[in-house]
Amino acid sequence: MNVPANLKYTKSHEWARLDADGLVTIGITDHAQEALGDIVFLELPETGRKLKAAEECAVVESVKAASDIYAPIAGEVVARNDAASDTPETVNQDAYAAWLFQIKPDDATQLNGLLDAAAYAKIAEEG
């Protein structure tokens, strides 16, 4: 299982990365894409949308199931990866390169409350 140490994680299988410009890039984990199987559709949040932490904000659909994506922290959506929407299979190819959306965080310190790689790996292994 691929769990990069430089990211933060949620129990609901999202990853978050604080970028140098202060934005937070968000996607789903490698474990999540493996569990879902072949991803066929992504519904991403609109730019300008204000999100609360743990709010449902996107949907990923695979040949097996549909799953909600939750905002790891609060903030405003400032970008979405339309290339991933156009070719959702890229999430299966590399879940960490195929980010889904970026937010301008209300408070970047909220990332400190997320899981580190070791804690997430343990949760993912437990199923």
pLDDT band of residue 126 (cuts 50, 70, 90) is confident
Q: What is the pTM of this model?
A: 0.96
Residue 63 — φ and ψ, nearest 5°?
-65, -20
Fold classification of 8-108 (topology level): OB fold (Dihydrolipoamide Acetyltransferase, E2P) (2.40.50)
Q: Where does the chain have alpha helices with state H? A: 30-36, 82-86, 89-93, 117-126
Q: What is the mean pLDDT of residues 90-96?
A: 97
Q: What is the mean pLDDT of residues 103-114?
A: 97
Domain boundaries, the chain: 8-108
Mean pLDDT, the chain, whole residue set: 97
The C-alpha angle 10, 12, 13, rounded to 5 degrees, equals 70
Q: Give pLDDT tens digits for 35-75.
A: 999 999 999 999 999 999 999 999 999 999 999 999 999 99
